[in-house]
Amino acid sequence: MGLNDNLHQLAREHLKTGPDGKAHKVPALLEELRQAVTPGNSMSGGGASGAPSPINVSALDLLAEFENEARRDYYEITSEGWQSTLEELLQALTAMDLSAEWEAYLTHTTKDWVDRITAMLWPNKPRRKLTGKKCPACGLTTHGEERAVALSLGCWDDEGNMRKIGTWDIECAACEAAWSGDQVAYLLRALDTPGAVIVSEVAQVG
């Protein structure tokens, strides 16, 4: 993903592929982060009744950090202070003729922002343990002194939605063997854990 893609995701409504495999319009990531600062308080801005909603300090800190960084970078690039919002600053960047160094630096920085907002708003769900199943590579069902389950299935995307079955992966924590793509469905069948069963079980857990 290039700089303009990152800026677009951060500052503008954009299209995102949902668990159904179709593209949906979603709000700008910074917009979602601002909403997260005052959860449940986005409509009224502080009502007359009841206590005010607690502030999400992590979300606020993240916004302040991004704001400071963006304004500092803008000043270094243009020798002028930015007078408007962070979102407008990011959109202004897309129209600027940046040096290769700035382009690379800002691409890296904005990718980091996208990842950190995503991780905060949609924490990763844990991998699904395949309890009692024997790894076909090393033959173990558990490993380590704590007898942790060896095989686990990765089936969630970054926002906690179930990925399509063809994109799942299986890993063995004992021998670090890994399977992906079509191998996963084959392996689940071999382990007598059909994908359809997993899908319904996972859906109940999720």
Residue closer to Zn ion (CB basis): 98 or 140: 140
Nearer CB in complex with Zn ion: 107/152: 152
**If you compute the radius of gyration of the chain from its CA atoms, what whole number of angstroms results?**
22
The three-class DSSP label of residue 15 is: strand
Taking alpha carbons only, the member of 150, 28, 159, 139 closest to residue 88 is 28
Which residues 47-66 are close enough to bind Zn ion by CB under 5 A? none
Q: How many residues bind Zn ion (CB under 5 A)?
A: 7
Q: Which residue has the tokens 């191998």?
A: 183
Q: Least separation, in Å, of the C-beta of 61 and Zn ion? A: 41
Name the minimum Å distance from CB 139 to Zn ion. Answer: 7
Site for Zn ion in 127-186 (CB under 5 A): 135, 137-138, 172, 174-175, 177
Please, which of residues 85-124 interact with Zn ion by CB under 5 A? none
Query: Which backbone phi and psi does 202 adopt, to 5 degrees?
Result: -65, -40
User: By CB neighbour count within 10 A (0-12 exposed, 13-18 middle, 19+ buried), where does 188 fall?
Assistant: buried
Judged by the rule CB under 5 A, the positions of this chain that interact with Zn ion are: 135, 137-138, 172, 174-175, 177
